[in-house]
Amino acid sequence: QVQLVESGGGLVQAGGSLRLSCAFSGRTFSRYGMGWFRQGPGKEREFVAAISWSGVSTYYEDSVKGRFTISRDNAKNTVYLQMNSLKPVDTAVYYCAAGQWQLRGSMNDYDYWGQGTQVTVSS
């Protein structure tokens, strides 16, 4: 069974940066497409970024393009989300997800989810 554990969340001022990590275990990491989603206060969970099995290809939600970078290290079974130029609207619980498809933006395309890590951006 796949297990995902996120870390790296916290409180940051607007304009600051954070790097989230998600540790994967239980199966062969390089065979899974990975994604990051977020759920803000009173909002539905939404797609943020996705990365292919190899890490060569990435896909972003429009509002984070140019500010967030998804990457993965298949030797460490870990996916990252580097978040720069953070805004208060980025405040949310961030979840990583794993699925057998690549570069998907729908929650339905992911089979496994982490417990989430809180990111709070103050103005």
Q: In this predicted structure, what is the pLDDT of residue 4?
A: 98
Q: Encode pLDDT of 94-120 as tens digits.
A: 999 999 999 999 999 999 999 999 999
User: Quick one: DSSP state of residue 72?
Assistant: E
pLDDT digits (tens, 9 = 90+) for 41-97: 999 999 999 999 999 999 999 999 999 999 999 999 999 999 999 999 999 999 999
Cα distances from 24 to residues 9, 78, 97, in angstroms, run 17, 6, 10
The share of the chain scoring above pLDDT 70, in percent, equals 100
Mean pLDDT score across all residues of the chain:
97
Span 22-32, mean pLDDT?
Answer: 97
Q: Supply the pLDDT for residue 21.
A: 98
Q: Nearest Cα to 117, choosing from 88, 81, 69, 87?
A: 81
Q: What does the DSSP assignment read for 24-57?
A: EESS-GGGSEEEEEEE-TTS--EEEEEE-SSSS-
